[in-house]
Amino acid sequence: MIFKHFLFFIFQCKITMINGRLWLLLGNNQFEKMQKNDIILLRIHENSVFTFNENRCLQLIWLNKGKVKLKLDWKEYPLQNGEIYMLLPNANIEMETYRNSEVIFLSFPVEMVKLESQAFAIDVFKLFVNHNQKNKNLVTPTVFHQIQHLSELMFQEKESAQYSLEIPQYSLEILWSYLKIILLQLIRDDNHSLRITDKNIERLEQIFTLISEYAVREKKVDFYAQKMNLSSKRLNQILQSLTGKNLSYYLQEQLILEAKRLLIKGKLSVNEIAYQLGYEDRAYFSRFLKKWTGIPPSNYKQMYFKNNQEILIKKRGGVID
């Protein structure tokens, strides 16, 4: 039960607004949006720019052909054929594809996983936590081809239901069945499963609850360590061993995501946003945001609305509202 409550809190996901939640999509792409807790299945073609922020679902990314420039949490990573990136919630994803390229992006909420057996949910969570530390998983050629085939079956099933006002329930069940097989293939192919104890799951739940509640007001690791009756060193050890990142990273990530939300809403000035997030020095806040995104706050807002206009000019680039 602890595991299920943890997943419900950390990974609950309901994506209903694309542009309002920092979804940008430029170029010639297929966008497939399903109703069962919002699975997102996307084929990203050549000469496209794709960014995905503030997502609280699990995600799979792989390259079918060509070349892609991939950034995860503002750091560039290679993506080659046969590699699958398995990402935990809140990953900042940026991709740029080149000529004759095709990337598959698959995102799904953990609520769907929770509907299956507890053993399956634990295996899926362990798989993503394990590979989140090194991000990608090099699967065997046989498994990779099987996953490619299963994703094509998902596209075909979605296409067969595209003329319906709502996707029939049986189609949703078929899509979930294909996705479940993909996850089972990855679990079976993985030889480095983590042993995550109930105690550590409980600690992770508490850590992320505290981050969600206090990140704007409290930015020191000691505060969270005291709340959990742990030393700062031990708290960071737990996070590092399970997720590959320390507490400072997650605090900063939470603030960055909140800053982006406020900037795009456009109701507050940069000074007001800085103050609301606990930064009295606007210059420091601007340097902080630029360090993470490469863009000053004022330019980030302008770039977002510029890209939003480009989406409309290109017939929404395949985006379905």
- Name the percent of the chain lying above pLDDT 90: 15
pLDDT tens readout for residues 179-190: 999 999 998 887
Please determine, for residue 297, whether its predicted confidence score (pLDDT) is greater than 90.
Answer: no
Pairing of strands 68-72, 40-44: unpaired
Buried b (16+ CB within 10 A) or exposed e, 63-97: beeebbebebbeeeeebeeebbbbbbbbbbbbbbb
Residue 253: name the closest of 37, 75, 70 by CA: 75
Tokens standing for residue 87? 């990402």
Alpha carbons 255 and 298: distance in angstroms, whole number: 16
Contact at 8 Å (CB) between 319 and 311?
yes
User: What pLDDT was estimated at residue 228?
Assistant: 93
The reported pLDDT for the residue numbered 316 is: 32
pLDDT averaged over every residue in the chain = 74
Residue type, 218: E
pLDDT tens by residue, 35-84: 444 688 888 887 777 877 655 678 999 999 998 888 887 778 888 888 89
Q: What was the pLDDT predicted at 234?
A: 92
Among 110-114, 303-307, 312-316, whose mean pLDDT is lowest? 312-316
pLDDT score, position 302: 66
Least confident of 120-129, 165-174, 188-197: 188-197
Give pLDDT tens digits for 227-256: 999 999 999 998 887 777 889 988 887 888
- pLDDT tens readout for residues 87-96: 877 777 888 8
What is the residue-wise DSSP string for 255-285?
Answer: HHHHHHHHHHH-SS-HHHHHHHTT-S-HHHH
Note the pLDDT of residue 162. 63
Maximum average pLDDT range among 1-10, 24-33, 44-53: 44-53
Dihedral of the alpha carbons of 202, 197, 86, 219, in degrees to the nearest 10: 40
Q: How many whole angstroms separate alpha carbon 300 and alpha carbon 290? A: 9
Please give the backbone phi and psi of residue 320, each rounded to the nearest 5 degrees, phi first: -105, 120
pLDDT at position 3, please?
A: 40
Segment of 1-5, 207-211, 273-277 carrying the highest mean pLDDT: 273-277
Distance CA 123, CA 128 (A): 9
Residue 320, burial from CB neighbour count under 10 angstroms (0-12, 13-18, 19+): exposed
Domains in the chain: ranges and CATH: 15-189 (2.60.120.10), 198-309 (1.10.10.60)
